[in-house]
Chains A and B, each alone.
Chain A
């Protein structure tokens, strides 16, 4: 724990939006650089490719692209760095990584195909769950 705390230093606030932007790019780069390590320690080669992981990280960042307040960006950035540190330090387990970055919040999508196209909403819901 102390190790984690030492490695995550709270940077001074960004002076402007531009500075925050640069910091985000730096963070993205460092994340990309650690992808091979992550693939290695979590043994992800058979489930995901580095480019998919990169896209996943990018999409996580893009999710917040509408934020313009440098303070908020700094805060999110801090959380991101912390998360990256946790991942790199193997503070997580394989299924955390798979669940969060490989499968994504969409869940395991099985029945993706063209056969449901003609079905009504009722039937689509029916195949998924009893509660709709």
Chain B
């Protein structure tokens, strides 16, 4: 909520209210409180229905009111407007529905109610005092007044108290310009204060490499305490002391070791908790916001990339109720400095002395085209990286198919992925659908490091409904109570054969949810494991027409789209026989078995692992610099938008392959992104339905070949060793390196 918005709303509403009656409009500024002057007359007035010429008010931020039960609707009056709200709404929510934005500091819609800032005071008729609207349930027929002298005076007084101990250091504060306190003191505060004594000062706390604290600015709203306790699940922060000596802290010095800790920066209404990497870098009004998608994991969190000129300054979450709500993980928020380091800017060819030499695009493509014609078609192999967008993967597959090879896959999907049934690789119940589940079985997945937002969703469910969570895999801390059932496939077998105590929990559950980690894709006994899991799903009736509880949690942003586009290698050991390997941003492919005479092309944006073996490097643009489609783990296609220009002589991934195809004499028939997208429409039309979830049509239990495989006794590993460094961008990031050094310390 910006100041401008507030101010304009205040202006607009008053203008709209006064304009219909000219008599009133010139009277109003002079006699501001006719009711106070003549209270009897004001009371004697029959409660008039709102004049017909009053414009209809829209709820704040387009909020939708969802009535679970139509009988539960009650009617309250906000500034004379009748609004229908469900029972159990607070006065503040009722005002929001009525389109009145109530100032608040401690209230946050996703956290529990604290009611300690008192900024949301409103007047309620027949109530002797102003009431804190955030904590007051709305009652039928309540007459709420948000614009009366009493409410205004109350806010002004609260604001004066808040500013008593708040330093006036806005010019050096990083929150300046997007500070709730700043905005609201302009909108609701007084123009002077009466406080002449010394201000309180508080010792700053060390919360780690991500969150900078200036605790003197804290107004004790306890949003961060509640966030840490309720959402992040780390009970580190607390409110210490009492009275004027009250402060937020950890008491014993302790770093905040949550993977969601960056969100306290967003929820802090003042500049007490700000971003350490962003400190003193830019002002928020200098930044250009680009609405994009995060690609560091398979969740596809919606983000806003704030850039200044060619530089990304910070990343903020965007609201998306179905994916990330309004949180993002620390990796998403802070990896951006990796986009400025170790970038590839020029096409390069490895000379005979083993050193790379910068060449022009013309020469680089000519060399590749020459080599690709010298090898046999089946010796051509292409691997898409974990950050690839659907367009470039489509073009890569088309190109290699034209060259006669069908050995193309996406890293992380394993050498024999099951791309036949979409339900076999998607989070079928959806991320928000996980909230309906009442029992979880996590197999070989640690959502906390693999997909922090999914973990937050599971934690929310566990907190709300006390759902039981069973976990098979190496011992780990998931941030919520879970039963560690075992580490090997043995436990899985026991559950499948109904011999395990957890089976009763699963079968008693109404909506059991089984979440399988994508780390299993790399295992040799993948099919057997999936067969066992399907048996479990059948036993506990997890797959029904109204509920599909068999979920696969993917690791990388590219995986789902790659499988949708059919990036499946023809032969399982094509790497061993490859003579020409095209790595499109693939850094985590094991190249040990690659013949030493193979020609490797690395197309990507970072000089990471893939570059060491490359013969030719083609610089590509990162996801912040191009328009690309990504499908997240629940099958929702989303698009990134270019926020900054490309670095050096880099080109978009699909353009490079399109140009190479022409140089190699197998010209692909599209010249524009929309051309590529119409090609995608033929293969996987769901990728073009942006922001829609296309559910898997067939359930995986319908058609299945016989599985003759046996599960090996090898224990489940952890798919992500270091949460902060999973791909080429995050590995190049200094902040992520600091995080892994300080926060992963055991």
Q: Which residues of A contact B (CB under 8 A)?
A: 111, 115, 119-123, 126-127, 130-131
Contacts and interface: CB of A to CB of B under 8 A. Distances in A.
Nearest to A126: B659
Given A111-B362, A130-B621, A130-B646, A123 B663 contact: yes
B361 interface: yes
A120 B669 CA distance: 11
B658 interface: yes
B347 to A, nearest CB: 11
Given A111-B362, A130-B621, A130-B646, A122 B671 contact: yes
A123 B645 CA distance: 20
Given A122-B662, A123-B659, A126-B655, 6 more contacts: A111-B362, A122-B658, A122-B659, A127-B360, A127-B361, A131-B645
A115 B362 CA distance: 10
Contacts of B650: 130
B411 interface: no
A93 B137 CA distance: 75
A130 B626 CA distance: 10
Interface in B667-702: 667, 671
B361 A126 contact: yes
Contacts of B621: 130
How many residues of B sit at the interface, in one of the four size bands? Answer: 10 to 19
Contacts of A115: 362
B392 to A, nearest CB: 14
Given A126-B659, A130-B646, A120 B651 contact: no
Contacts of B652: 130
Interface in B641-659: 645-646, 650-652, 655, 658-659
B646 A120 contact: no
Contacts of B662: 119-120, 122-123
A119 B362 CA distance: 11
B667 A130 contact: no
Contacts of A120: 662, 667, 671
19 contacts: A115-B362, A119-B662, A120-B662, A120-B667, A120-B671, A121-B671, A122-B658, A122-B659, A123-B663, A126-B361, A126-B651, A126-B655, A127-B362, A127-B659, A130-B646, A130-B651, A130-B652, A130-B655, A131-B645
Contacts of A122: 658-659, 662, 671
Interface in B606-663: 621, 645-646, 650-652, 655, 658-659, 662-663
Contacts of A126: 361, 651, 655, 658-659
A84 B744 CA distance: 68
A123 to B, nearest CB: 5
A120 B655 CA distance: 13
- Smallest CB-CB A-B distances: 4 pairs: A126-B659, A122-B671, A130-B651, A130-B646
Interface of B: 360-362, 621, 645-646, 650-652, 655, 658-659, 662-663, 667, 671
A131 B646 CA distance: 9
Contacts of A127: 360-362, 659
A123 B668 CA distance: 12
A112 to B, nearest CB: 13
A119 to B, nearest CB: 7
A127 B663 CA distance: 12
A122 B621 CA distance: 18
A9 to B, nearest CB: 45
B289 to A, nearest CB: 21
Nearest to B362: A127
B385 to A, nearest CB: 19
Contacts of A111: 362
Nearest to A110: B360
B735 to A, nearest CB: 27
B672 to A, nearest CB: 9
Nearest to A121: B671
A26 B645 CA distance: 48
Contacts of A130: 621, 646, 650-652, 655
Contacts of B360: 127
Contacts of B361: 126-127
A76 to B, nearest CB: 36
A40 to B, nearest CB: 36
B539 to A, nearest CB: 54
Contacts of B671: 120-122
B286 to A, nearest CB: 23
B476 to A, nearest CB: 43
A123 B650 CA distance: 15
A127 to B, nearest CB: 5
A130 B645 CA distance: 9
B661 to A, nearest CB: 10
B463 to A, nearest CB: 47
Contacts of A121: 671
A126 B362 CA distance: 10
B73 to A, nearest CB: 53
A120 B661 CA distance: 12
B668 to A, nearest CB: 10
A119 B655 CA distance: 15
B389 to A, nearest CB: 15
Residue among A119, A126, A131 having the largest count of chain B Cβ atoms under 10 Å: A126
Residue among B362, B645, B650 having the largest count of chain A Cβ atoms under 10 Å: B362
Contacts of B362: 111, 115, 127
Nearest to B655: A126
B90 to A, nearest CB: 50
